[in-house]
Chain A
Amino acid sequence: MSSHYEAPIRRPLIDGNKSYHDITVEVAAPVEGKANKLWWTAFTIALLAFLWGVGSIIYTIGTGIGVWGLNKTVGWAWDITNFVWWVGIGHAGTLISAVLLLFRQKWRMGINRSAEAMTIFSVVQAGLFPVIHMGRVWNAHFVLPIPNQFGTLWTNFNSPLLWDVFAISTYLSVSLVFWWTGLLPDFAMLRDRAVRPFQKKIYSLLSFGWSGRAKDWQRFEEVSLVLAGLATPLVLSVHTIVSFDFATSVIPGWHTTIFPPYFVAGAVFSGFAMVNTLLIIMRKVSNLEAYITKQHIELMNIVIMITGSIVGCAYITELFIAWYSGVEYEQYAFLNRATGPYWWAYLLMMSCNVLSPQFMWFKRLRSSIMFSFFISIVVNIGMWFERFVIIVTSLHRDYLPSSWTMFSPTFVDIGIYVGTIGFFFVLFLLYARTFPVIAQAEVKSILKSSGEQFKKLRDGNHE
């Protein structure tokens, strides 16, 4: 027992009196059981939204980008707002599994699987927008440096947009591999429990023949650690490079050196909010309250509070620097953001992102499940408006007052956005029914140090 010591002050991460077998049964239950009405309702709604999105995308490709609300002055609007929003949401998963692994935070184990799934699904949504925005999607492969019929026409490695292509595709593929490697032992568990031959076949295919040899586990742990070490700078680089799309331009309001850290903090902020949104529902629906405990939600709320405060500092620094720079255009861009025709978007952004996370200072509020869920939705909305404010309000009043204009989305803009939300939930709902949603092998390895009954047993001995 002594080798499983953990300080008594740390709260248990697995509630109740669980054995290894209980963990197996409870993680496998949502996969082995039947879906209830609620799942089918949610799935149907998500699927309809997805189909509406597919229709809007087909209409856009068939007719042209003109069906969007874009105009000569505002050339980037909902599409890029949605792109940055989805990429930002995609930051929590790899942050939880990589950064928290390096810091040896055991609470990552209850939530990392679903957070990584969320990451992958949301980066898929994000990737759709730049591709559709190209207009001629059938030429999307031109962003890759591949030999082509134009002789020596290569991609432009000076362009931040191309950096983004490399950053997002590296991030998506490395996250996928990280996720899948962690899934192998858990797929093996489902495979060995499967009764029906079809299920057995599918899960043995997915588990790559994982057998759990001592040497495999040794390599598994080393690979996880090195992947975490690689993914940590990677996750920070992705939103840094997304921010370069703006920061390396000469648009007032975009051309700021504060963007990389500010975008990364915002991404982590919105990602954790989305993790909270999804897991608060999933722990209830899939009966996983013992593994995704109140303690997990409280810790995530603390991360939301800290990153929200960093984002708040960045907003205020931006305002100060705009004034302090003495550049009239920069000053006007920020004055226009706060008091111009889009003041309501700015106010929404400020109140959702700066004010709302401050409630988490109160222990009673951050340990309340309902309040956490409410704040997580507020933060998701706020972070969408942050990107909208940065993109649209910086563009709609440019250097030439005669070209000043407003942006309003068409039904196609809205349709594609709603469609990606639908697509995201289609993927997540399917995942929740077919994948082991808790990294059960890893949770078993912390049962003796962080399980409630073992902690009680040990702390009793000390008295």
Chain B
Amino acid sequence: MSNKVIQAMYNDDDILLDAVKEVRAANYHIEEIFTPFPVHGLDKAMGLKGTRIAITAFMYGCVGFVFSIWMMNYMMIEQWPQDIGGKPSFTFIQNMPAFVPIMFEMTVFFAAHLMVITFYMRSKLWPFKKAENPDPRTTDDMFVMEVSVEGNEAELVSFLEKTGTVEIKVTEKH
């Protein structure tokens, strides 16, 4: 019954944004929206929660920072201290100024790469992944809103038609 979705196509981002607001005001449930480019304000209009990916980047950066300190302390101070260029190697803090560049680089390295890996995993992006956009035109100039069918299907279709859609398709949910 509720396995059906209606795909309403729009050819303009402003019309889509207005349509999203109307659909939500009428208490229909938007399953998904596919757009060819980032439409500003769409996530708020859809009621999507903010992403926490920036917080993960901060945490990964902290891990990289701590890892670099641990690594250089182990290699240069604990395991094989060497007096190179007169830079004192008796304690970590004495040798620390020479370690600052690598602490910085490792922080950035960990934060950037692990955040991007998190993004790819959360959004299910990887080589050999099959694309799931319902229509090839959604990467060109078409915006597709998928609304789940609950109750009267004909009523929903006629409601969506009034929101400025250019094409409507009823399909099974994938």
Contacts and interface: CB of A to CB of B under 8 A. Distances in A.
B66 interface: no
Interface string A300-320: 000000000000000000000
A445 B40 contact: yes
Contact of A211 (B38, B42, B133, B140): B133
Nearest to B35: A212
Given A227-B116, A230-B57, A218 B140 contact: no
Contacts of B120: 208
A209 B105 contact: no
Interface in A150-183: 152-160, 162-163, 166-167, 170, 173-174, 177-178, 181
B38 A153 contact: no
Contact of A204 (B39, B104, B124, B130): B130
Nearest to A187: B139
Nearest to B30: A214
Interface string B63-107: 000000001100110011010110100000001001101101110
Interface string A397-429: 000000000000000000000000000000000
B166 interface: no
B61 to A, nearest CB: 8
B115 A223 contact: yes
Interface stretch (A16-24, A43-51, A112-120, A344-352): A16-24
A215 interface: yes
A409 B138 CA distance: 56
Contacts of B42: 214, 217
Given A1-B14, A20-B141, A208-B120, A223 B41 contact: no
Interface in B111-135: 111-113, 115-116, 119-120, 122-133
Interface stretch (A189-197, A251-259, A279-287): A189-197
B141 A204 contact: no
B133 A214 contact: no
Interface in A62-90: none
Tell which of A160, A181, A217, A237 has the most Cβ of chain B within 10 Å. Answer: A217
Interface residues of A, number: 68
Contacts of A192: 131, 133, 136-140
A214 B113 contact: no
A230 B112 CA distance: 7
Contacts of B41: 3
A181 B119 contact: yes
Given A152-B80, A170-B108, A189-B139, A158 B87 contact: yes
Given A152-B79, A222-B53, A212 B140 contact: no
Contacts of A366: none
A181 B112 CA distance: 12
Interface in B29-72: 32-43, 46, 48, 50-51, 53-54, 57, 61, 71-72
A191 B131 contact: yes
A3 B12 CA distance: 14
Nearest to B144: A212
B138 A237 contact: no
A193 B136 contact: yes
A281 B120 CA distance: 35
Interface string A1-26: 10100000000000000011100100
B57 A157 contact: no
Contacts of B48: 214-215, 218
B123 A145 contact: no
B119 A237 contact: no
Interface in A230-261: 230-231, 233-234, 237, 241, 244
Contacts of A154: 75-76, 79-80
Tell which of A177, A209, A216, A221 has the most Cβ of chain B within 10 Å. Answer: A209
B45 to A, nearest CB: 9
Contacts of A219: 51, 53, 119, 122-123
B139 A209 contact: no
B130 A214 contact: no
Contacts of B98: 157-158
A441 to B, nearest CB: 4
Contacts of B124: 209
Contacts of B108: 170, 174, 230-231, 233-234
A210 interface: yes
A271 interface: no
A462 interface: no
A177 B112 contact: yes
Contact of A212 (B13, B14, B139): B139
Nearest to B72: A157
B116 A441 contact: no
5 contacts: A166-B106, A167-B105, A192-B136, A214-B42, A448-B14
Given A20-B140, A177-B116, 9 more contacts: A206-B127, A213-B34, A214-B35, A218-B50, A218-B51, A219-B123, A220-B119, A222-B54, A226-B57
